[in-house]
A and B are shown apart, each in its own frame.
Chain A
Amino acid sequence: AQSVSQHNHHVILSEAASLELGCNYSYGGTVNLFWYVQYPGQHLQLLLKYFSGDPLVKGIKGFEAEFIKSKFSFNLRKPSVQWSDTAEYFCAVNKGTNAGKSTFGDGTTLTVKP
């Protein structure tokens, strides 16, 4: 069974610090990769996604993620975080041919101190 690991459960940063959240998955075939964000009191929403092509994908609010196939990784980055980035971040993976069983990581809570 595929699994998704997010290594950082809680990250605390000051504003303007750089962010990198790790995500590794176990499935070896074709995958679709996602990062979702859940701001306090709001519903989960898509931050960015990768299906094919350029392994460096850019999402909303200055976030980007790089797919490194050899490392089975899809780490999320942002060069300078803001207080409004405080949220919970989820990495998700599904097999390229079947969206039915998307697997989510355990989530990383990011707290940005003003």
Chain B
Amino acid sequence: DGGITQSPKYLFRKEGQNVTLSCEQNLNHDAMYWYRQDPGQGLRLIYYSQIVNDFQKGDIAEGYSVSREKKESFPLTVTSAQKNPTAFYLCASRSDIKGSTEAFFGQGTRLTVV
């Protein structure tokens, strides 16, 4: 089945540690996105990539980093610089970059800093 896979589903991290969230898609989509979902705040864009080896900051990129070495993969690293990392993280992809298609979402990763 084609889709987007995020792993792990739940992740616990100690303060001061970096952690990497995985996102893989087998839809052959060019564009990939990372969103953060907090209660009452909807989805906020962290980073997005429209092509391999290129990515752009979203609205809340501070404390996060990404890479796009392969079309299928867009991992997100939550660094120790992120002041409030506990959240639900969603990865999405889109088949083109023009905006005329909808985004497909993964199941999400819930990160808790302990």
A9 lies within 8 A of B40 (CB): yes
> Which B residues, 87 to 114, have Cβ-Cβ distances below 8 Å to chain A?
90, 92, 94, 96-103, 105-108
| Given A99-B94, A104-B42: A43 touches B56 (CB 8 Å cut-off) | no
How many Å lie between the Cα of A4 and that of B96 in the bound state?
Answer: 22
How many Å lie between the Cα of A17 and that of B56 in the bound state?
Answer: 43
- Tell me the dominant secondary structure on chain B's binding face: loop
B78 CB-CB contact with A under 8 Å: no
The chain A residue with its CB closest to the CB of B103 is: A102
A104 lies within 8 A of B43 (CB): yes
The chain B residue with its CB closest to the CB of A95 is: B99
- Tell me the dominant secondary structure on chain A's binding face: mixed
A100 lies within 8 A of B100 (CB): no
B53 CB-CB contact with A under 8 Å: no
A101 lies within 8 A of B102 (CB): no
A44 lies within 8 A of B105 (CB): yes
**How many chain B residues touch A (Cβ–Cβ < 8 Å)?**
29
A70 CB-CB contact with B under 8 Å: no
Question: What is the distance, in angstroms, from B17's C-beta to the closest C-beta of chain A?
Answer: 27
**How many chain A residues touch B (Cβ–Cβ < 8 Å)?**
29
B38-79 interface bits toward A, Cβ cutoff 8 Å, 1 = contact, 0 = none: 001111110010100000101100000000000000000000
A24 CB-CB contact with B under 8 Å: no
Contacts of B41 in A (CB 8 A): 106
Contacts of A44 in B (CB 8 A): 90, 92, 105
How many Å lie between the Cα of A105 and that of B108 in the bound state?
Answer: 18
A90 lies within 8 A of B42 (CB): yes
B99 lies within 8 A of A49 (CB): no
Of B99, B101, B105, B108, the residue contacting A45 (CB under 8 A) is B105
A34 CB-CB contact with B under 8 Å: yes
How many Å lie between the Cα of A94 and that of B97 in the bound state?
Answer: 11
